[in-house]
């Protein structure tokens, strides 16, 4: 049963999406401006420091008491086209506070200006960098994690594949929130959840993101859609997903394939929730509970 706060939030989102349903899709600049309005600042007690992470800009977000040797590379969502490190500072701060880790939110290059594999290349470069650099400067990491939401969740698992295949030390664990692991958009939940997901009322939206990110390239290649990749040797993974979102199967099937590869995979399905709700509204009781789960997962793995 959703909390009263979640029920009110869902009603508000449904009304907003219904009002926009008959409007033409805005151009990319307008979409980005609207998406950037989701930016929420980090709390005043959280330190935010902009850095060059192996040639890629990003922000260290460090809550009081976080261990600078325990590091999370966080990859924001937005269909590989929208959003930024700025939009995700509050979420990163919440993760830092509950996990006790320093969190690097990466501003990887966006499509269509920088299509696949630009984001993949940037994420691996930044991951290599945090192995040897923390919020206090050059130092060896004591433990590392990779996580992200939506497209950033898919990019998280693509980065683990990329690191493994390039003989880069793997993270202690990885996590995804509402992960887009199938950029080919062939999972059944694209249709079964379309009528009840208030964020993806337009079935062409994910196809548009795919076209901008992939162009004519194969969307099923593992570094684009890690659902179709070899998951052997993966560290433990945690997947948070909402029951009402069109990306539901991206997490459920990824967990199944991970387990088939002898990977420890935990899935938490939020009943009645919607796509990346901890970012959409971090003050919901469900969002706070989800961040506590992620924090406990990270604390339990290094």
Question: Taking the CA of residue 274 as centre, how many other CA atoms within 13 Å lie in the half-sphere pointing to its CB?
Answer: 22
Integer Cα distance of 199 and 14 in angstroms:
8
Catalytic-labelled residue, pool 275, 286, 287, 301: 275
SS3 assignment for 16-27: HHHHHCCCCCCC
Integer Cα distance of 257 and 249 in angstroms:
12
Catalytic-labelled residue, pool 245, 251, 286, 301: 245
Contacts of 155 (CB under 8 A, 6+ apart): 75, 80, 108, 119, 120, 123, 148
Strand (E) or helix (H) holding 151: helix 151-165
On whether the CB atoms of residues 226 and 181 are closer than 8 A, the answer is yes
Integer Cα distance of 30 and 212 in angstroms:
16
Catalytic-labelled residue, pool 150, 178, 179, 189: 150
Annotation marks residue 275 as catalytic: yes
Annotation marks residue 244 as catalytic: no
Torsion sign (Cα): 60, 66, 71, 74: negative
Integer Cα distance of 214 and 185 in angstroms:
12
Annotation marks residue 245 as catalytic: yes
Alpha helices in 21-150 (DSSP H): 28-36, 89-99, 118-132
Q: Which residues are annotated as catalytic? A: 150, 245, 275
């Amino acid at each position: 049963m959703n909390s009263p706060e979640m029920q009110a939030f869902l009603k508000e989102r449904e009304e907003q999406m219904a009002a926009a349903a008959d409007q033409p899709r805005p151009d990319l600049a307008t979409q980005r401006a609207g998406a950037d309005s989701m930016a929420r600042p980090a709390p005043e007690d959280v330190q935010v420091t902009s850095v060059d992470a192996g040639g890629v800009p990003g922000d260290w977000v460090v809550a009081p008491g976080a261990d600078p040797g325990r590091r999370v590379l966080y990859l924001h969502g937005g269909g590989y086209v929208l959003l930024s490190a700025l939009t995700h500072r509050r979420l990163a701060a919440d993760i830092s506070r509950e996990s006790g880790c320093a969190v690097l939110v990466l501003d990887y290059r966006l499509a269509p200006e920088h299509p696949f594999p630009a984001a993949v290349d940037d994420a691996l470069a930044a991951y290599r960098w945090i192995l040897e650099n923390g919020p206090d400067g050059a130092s060896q990491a004591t433990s590392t994690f990779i996580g992200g939401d939506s497209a950033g969740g898919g990019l998280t698992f693509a980065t683990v594949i990329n690191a493994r295949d390039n003989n880069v030390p793997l993270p202690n664990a990885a996590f995804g929130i509402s992960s887009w692991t199938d950029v080919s958009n062939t999972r059944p939940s694209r249709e079964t959840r379309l009528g009840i997901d208030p964020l993806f009322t337009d079935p062409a939206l994910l196809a548009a993101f795919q076209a901008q990110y992939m162009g004519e390239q194969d969307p099923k290649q593992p570094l684009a859609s890690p659902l179709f990749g070899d998951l052997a040797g993966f560290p433990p993974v945690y997947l948070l997903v909402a029951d009402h979102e069109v990306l539901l199967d991206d997490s459920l099937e990824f967990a199944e394939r991970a387990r088939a590869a002898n990977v420890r995979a935990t899935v938490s399905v939020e009943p009645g929730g919607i796509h990346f709700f901890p970012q959409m509204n971090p003050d919901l009781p469900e969002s706070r509970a989800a961040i506590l789960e992620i924090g406990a997962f990270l604390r339990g793995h290094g």
